[in-house]
Every structure is written in C-alpha cells, then in structure tokens.
Amino acid sequence: MSFGGVVAVDDLSISLQRGAITGLIGPNGAGKTTAFNILAGSQLPSAGQVLLEGADITALAPHRRAALGIARTFQLAHEFARLTVVENLMVAADLQGGESVFNTVFRRGVYQAAEREVYGRARELLGFLGLDRLALEPAGSLSGGQKKLLELGRALMREPRIVLLDEIGAGINRTLLGQIADLLLKLRRERGITFCLIEHDLDYVSKLCDEVFVMAGGRLLAQGTVAQVRADERVVEAYFGGGKYEDAALRSKSGATA
Ligand SMILES: Nc1ncnc2c1ncn2[C@@H]1O[C@H](COP(=O)(O)OP(=O)(O)OP(=O)(O)O)[C@@H](O)[C@H]1O
Ligand SMILES: [Mg+2]
C-alpha cells in the first residue's frame, strides 16, 4: 500500500487462524493500522489480495465485508458523543429490512419489532461489557477506558466472526485492560470469534496471543510466539530508538534507557 511516495505496507503477508488470537505488533509508523484498513476494506491496496476462507474479497467495500463477519475497532474511539451509550450500539447494528424509508413509513410494525430486537441485544451486550448502568448516559460523558469498551461493543453488535482491534488497550488502566482481556478470551471460547489485535504492550500481547506478526517500516520482520519474536535480534533492533514501546525485556536488551 503506497500513498504517493510513502510505502506504508510493503509486500506483507499475514494469515489469521480461525478461532485464534493473533497479534500485530511493531514500532510507531510500522504500517499496522494501514494493514487493518486493508483487511477491513477501508483502503484498497495498491497491490495484493485479501482472502477470506480462500475467497478474494480485496475489492469488497467495508460494509460488504462487515456482512461477511469482519468487524474492527478504531485506534481513536469514534463514538457519537451526543447519542446515549445504548444508542451508540444500536446504530452499529444493521437493521437491514427494518431500516428503510418504506418500512419506516408504511410498515411501522416491522420497523419497531426490528428496533426492539436490536435494543434488547444492545442492552444484553452492555451487561456483558459491564456498561449497563451507563446505558442511558451520553457516550461523550464516558471515560477513555469506557469508550474503548463501547468501541468493542460496537464491533460486536453485528455478531462478527472476525474482529480486528486497533490498540483497544492503549491509554487505559490495568484493571480495565485485564477486564478486556477476559472478555476477549470469553468471546473466543464461547462464540469462536477470531481476533487480531494491534497492541504495544508485549506482556499483554503475550498473555492473549497465540501467534504474533512483527512489522517494521511496512514490512514483515518476524512471526511466531511472543517469546520467539522477543528473542529475535531483528525485532529488538527495530524497536530500538522507536517511539513508544513498553517492553522492559526489549528495552534492556537493546540497551536503551527507560
Ligand atoms: N492516508 C495516508 N496518507 C499518507 N501516508 C499515510 C497514510 N496512512 C498512513 N500513512 C503513513 O504510513 C505509515 C504507516 O502508518 P500506520 O498508521 O499504518 O502505522 P502504525 O503501525 O499503525 O503506527 P502507530 O503505532 O503509530 O499507530 C506511516 O509512515 C504513515 O505516516
Ligand atoms: Mg496505528
């Protein structure tokens, strides 16, 4: 994927195993978010393919991919601040048949039934996320961490099979971080959801991920378990001098000071 002269993602090849939690890590500007944009369909790659269970979905628009079960969260939470928390989940749902001008005007019953169903699902999801007591608050009043949970909830509203999480843990406290990890493991266990997550905290990644891909300068640098890539000199080198990284092991290995 290139933007003018900048090659943001260069000859990258990654695969996500069904039911696994895969990590995508690397220093700032490595191309991680761009890779997610390509997977989710918000950016058409200059070259290359995206395959879902063997089918080429490279040209499919984001909403078509969402219909196939691919959901994502954004690095910066993008809630509708003035809508309530539960409404934020409801707009993320696909009301399909319910939400058309025709149905709204001529088939109010159909529309209202669909809306009730979505409302019920949204309340249930808020319970799962531990946000139910905030359901009727404006989303803009949530804390940063609660907004991240809401962002996860928005991705889950359409009952996806694959969820791409872009730094869902960034800037939130340890307790909430642990809570999100538990939720992801539960979703994987109970619903078989496949996850791919971008995170900078390698301890967190090592607790959650079966396999990680390491990117630097747009390229794939290494892949394996967290322990394997942590021991890889090229990975240590790529992190050295890069912006934020929170891995004490890498820091000491690369000789950087905290
Ligand atoms: N729309 C765009 N136009 C031009 N350059 C872009 C665009 N999007 C990304 N880039 C560039 O591509 C490179 C990779 O950016 P990307 O956001 O994918 O990195 P990242 O790994 O997600 O970084 P971070 O950890 O800081 O979120 C950067 O050099 C960035 O400036
Ligand atoms: Mg990013």
> What's the gap in Å between 29 CA and the centre of ligand 2?
7
Residue 245 has pLDDT above 90, yes or no: no
Mean pLDDT for the chain overall = 89
Residue nearest to atom 4 of ligand 1 (CA): 3
Considering only CA atoms, which of 193, 237, 195 is closest in space to residue 216?
237
Report the SS3 class of residue 83.
coil
Atom 1 of ligand 1, residue of closest alpha carbon: 3
Q: Which atom of ligand 1 is nearest to the CA of 34?
A: 18
Residue 248 has what pLDDT?
Answer: 52
Nearest residue (by CA) to ligand 1, atom 17, is 33
**Ligand 1 mean position to 34 CA, how many Å?**
6
Phi, psi of 207 (to 5 degrees): -70, -30
CA 160 to chain centre: 12
Which pLDDT does position 238 carry in this prediction? 84
With cut-offs at 50, 70 and 90, classify the pLDDT of residue 38: very high
Nearest in space to 232 (alpha carbons), one of 209, 208, 213? 213
106 in ligand 1 pocket by Cβ < 6 Å?
no
pLDDT score of 125 more than 70: yes
Residue 242 has pLDDT above 60, yes or no: no
Once rounded to an integer, what is the mean pLDDT over residues 51-80? 94
pLDDT of residue 167: 95
**8 within ligand 1 shell (Cβ under 6 A):** yes
pLDDT class of 256 with cuts at 50, 70, 90: very low
**Ordered domains of the chain (ranges, CATH):** 2-79+143-254 (3.40.50.300), 82-141 (no CATH)
Note the pTM of the prediction, 2 decimals: 0.88
148 Cα distance to chain centroid: 10
Burial class (CB in 10 A: 0-12, 13-18, 19+), 224: middle
Pairing state between β 2-3 and 6-7: antiparallel
pLDDT for 140 beyond 50: yes
Residue 190 Cα, ligand 2 centroid: separation in angstroms? 29
Ligand 1 neighbourhood includes 9 CB (under 6 angstroms)? no
45 C-alpha to ligand 1 centroid (Å): 14
